[in-house]
Amino acid sequence: MNDVLKYRDRLAIDAPRPAAARRSSFADRIVAIAELGAATLAAERCAIAFRSSGAGADDVVYAPDGDSRWDGPINAILVALENRIGDAVAARGMKRARRAPGSAESIAKIALSADEIDAIARLDKISEGHQAAAAAFTDGTSAVRIAMVVRADRARAELDASLGLIARAVFGEMTLAAVRASLEFWRTHGAESGRQAVDAKRELGQERAATHYLDEAVAAARRAHPNERFGRFGQLVAGGAGFDQWVVAVADSGSFLVAASSSGQKQFDLGEASALAESFRRRIVIARWRDRDEGGVERAGQYFEDKMFGGPYVCIPFESGAVALASRDARASAARAEAIVERLAPFAASWVLEREAARRSRLVRQLALRMFSAIDDERARIARDLHDDQAQLLAAAKIALDGPREAARSIFKQVEEELRRKTRELRPASLGNASLDQAIEREFERLKHAGVKAKLTHSGAAERVSRPVQQLCFQVSREALSNVIKHARAKSVQITIESGEAAVRVSVADDGRGVSANQGEGIGLAGVRERLELMGGRLTLESHAGGTTVVAEIPGSA
C-alpha cells in the first residue's frame, strides 16, 4: 500500500496533460475508444494514457467530454500505474514482445490490487455507490494505462475484460498509426528521392556535356593554326561559358600584350590601369558583375576594361596571360569559364614558348647572316687597308732601298708600326688578365692619339659582376669608342658603368656631331646589339647635333 501511495504528493506536477493538449486524428480515435468504453460500462469517467516508442510524456484522453469531477482520483490511479510499470522495469525488466505488436499474445498486463485501488479511492473520496477500475498494458514497445470510475454493482471480472478489450483497441490504433506514419514517410521519401534522382540525372547530363565540350575544345586548340591560336582560345572560352566579348593578353618577350580579341583589335593600353594586367600580375580573378550605380561610378573608372566593355565582365588569369570576358546575358558563367581556361592554359603556355623559340630562331638566323656579311665586309676592309697603306709603304720602301739608308729605315719603321696597329684592331676585344676598368682605360690611349678626352665613372659593386658580363661591357665600350674616333669628331667622351644586382648599365656619351640617318650604328655595334638581345639585354642609340649616347643594359644572368 505504501508503494502505491509514495508518489501521491507528485500528482499535481506529474498529472498528464488534458486531451486538449493534443488534437490529431490519432488522438480523436483514442477518444472515440474511451467514449465507447465509458458508454458500454455506463462509466462516470474513463481515462486512457498512452505512449508510443520514442515519444515524450504520455498523452491522456478523457470521456465523456466535459465531466471532470472524477479526474482527481483517476489521475492518481494513472500515476500509481506509471510507478508500477517503472518498478517492474527496474526490478526484473520487461521482456520485449516476440510476436506481432498489438496481438493478444504480445500484450502483458500490469495491474494494481483491489486494496491499492480502494486506498486511492478512499483518499480521493469516491462515493460508496461507485468503484474505480484500472490496469496498465504493454506490448514490450508501447504502454497503455486505463482508469475509470463505474457503478459499484459492476463485476470485477467484467471490468477486467473490458479494460483488456479497450487496451487491445488502443494498441491496434497505435499500430495502425505507426503503419500510416511509415507509409507517409516512405511516400514522401520516395517523392524526394525521385526529385533527387531527376536532379542528379540532369546534373550528370550537364557534367557530361561540359566534359564533352572540354574535350572538343582541347581538340580544336590542337588543330588551330599558329596565327589563329589565341583567337581560337578566346572563342572556346567565351563560347563555352556564354560570353560574347573577349580579349586575350599574354606575357611575351618581357611585355604584356593583347594577342587576340573578339573585335579583331590588338591595340589596347594594358598598363597599370588594366584589369587584365592586374589579374595576370596578382593571379586573381577580377569580376565586375553589378551594373554601375551612383556609388560605383568612381570605382568603375579605375580600369580600362570598364570603358571598353561598358558592362559586366570578368578577367581570369592563366600561366602565360589572362582573358577578359564580357556579356549582358545573366546566364554567362564565370565558374564555367575558369574551368575551360584551366583546361586550355597548358596549350596557351606552349604557344607562348613556341613563339619565343621561333623569335629566337629568327634572331639566330639573322645574326648568322649578319655575321657572315660582317666577315666579308671586314675582309674587304683589310684588303683595302693593305692596298692603300701597306702596299704604298712597301713601294716607297723599294724606292728607298736605292737611296739613303736612313730614309729606308724610316719607311720600314712606319710599315712595322702600321702592321702592329692593324694587328691590334684585328684582335678580338678581350679583357685578358685586366679588370674591366683597366681594359677600358687602356682604350683611352686610342682616344688620346685622336685628340679626344675620356673619363670613366663606375658605380656599384663591380666585384659582383661576372666575368662574361664584364667582357660584354668591354666590347660595348670598345665599339662605341671606335665609332667616336671614326665618325664623331668629338672633343670628349664620358663612360658610365652602373653595376646592380639584377643588371649592369653601360653608357658611352660624346659631344660630337652625331650619327646621321644614312650612317647608322655600324657593323660593330649591330653585332653587339644582336649579342645583347640573345642574352636578354638591349642596346639603344640616341644621337643629335650635340652628341651621341650609346646605352647597353645587360642582365646579370647573361
Q: Which of the pair, 154 or 87, is modelled with greater confidence?
A: 154
Q: Which of the pair, 377 or 538, is modelled with greater confidence?
A: 538
Q: What is the pTM of this model?
A: 0.40
Q: What's the confidence (pLDDT) of residue 324?
A: 93
Q: Other C-beta atoms within 10 Å of 39: how many?
A: 12
d(CA 389, CA 325): 70
Q: Which of the pair, 329 or 206, is modelled with greater confidence?
A: 329
Quick: pLDDT tens for 168-180: 999 988 888 888 8
Flag whether pLDDT at 100 surpasses 70.
Answer: no
Q: Which of the pair, 382 or 12, is modelled with greater confidence?
A: 382
**Domains by residue range for the chain, with CATH:** 2-184 (3.30.450), 226-345 (3.30.450.40), 430-558 (3.30.565.10)
Flag whether pLDDT at 198 surpasses 80.
Answer: no
What grid cell was written down for 2?
505504501
Note whether 506 and 497 are within 8 A (CB). yes
Residue 386 vs residues 194, 324, 379, 393, 450: alpha-carbon distances, Å? 100, 64, 11, 10, 21
Q: Which of the pair, 436 or 16, is modelled with greater confidence?
A: 436
Quick: pLDDT tens for 358-369: 878 777 777 766
Percentage of the chain exceeding pLDDT 70: 75
Note whether 462 and 499 are within 8 A (CB). yes
Band the pLDDT of 551: cuts 50, 70, 90: very high
Flag whether pLDDT at 345 surpasses 70.
Answer: yes
Determine the distance from the C-alpha atom of residue 122 to the mean position of all C-alpha atoms in its chain, rounded to a whole number: 80
Q: Which stretch of 87-101, 103-117, 398-412 has the lowest confidence by average pLDDT?
A: 87-101
Give the mean pLDDT of the chain. 78
Residues 6+ apart with CB under 8 A from 188: none
Q: What's the confidence (pLDDT) of residue 141?
A: 79
Q: What's the confidence (pLDDT) of residue 385?
A: 66
Quick: pLDDT tens for 304-328: 888 888 788 999 999 889 999 998 7
Q: What's the confidence (pLDDT) of residue 98?
A: 44
Band the pLDDT of 392: cuts 50, 70, 90: low
d(CA 221, CA 6): 88
Average confidence (pLDDT) over 377-396? 67
Flag whether pLDDT at 549 surpasses 80.
Answer: yes
d(CA 121, CA 424): 138
Flag whether pLDDT at 46 surpasses 90.
Answer: yes
Residue 551 vs residues 526, 538, 540: alpha-carbon distances, Å? 13, 8, 5
Nearest Cα to Cα of residue 33 among 206, 163, 217: 163
Band the pLDDT of 6: cuts 50, 70, 90: very low
Band the pLDDT of 48: cuts 50, 70, 90: very high
Q: Where are the alpha helices (DSSP H) in 283-333?
A: 297-300, 304-309
Q: Order of strands across the sheet with 108-110?
A: 59-63, 45-51, 143-151, 130-138, 108-110
Note whether 553 and 501 are within 8 A (CB). no
Q: Which of the pair, 82 or 460, is modelled with greater confidence?
A: 82
Quick: pLDDT tens for 488-532: 888 999 999 998 878 899 999 999 887 765 555 566 677 788 778
Band the pLDDT of 16: cuts 50, 70, 90: very low
Q: Which helix (H) or strand (E) holds 84?
A: helix 71-92
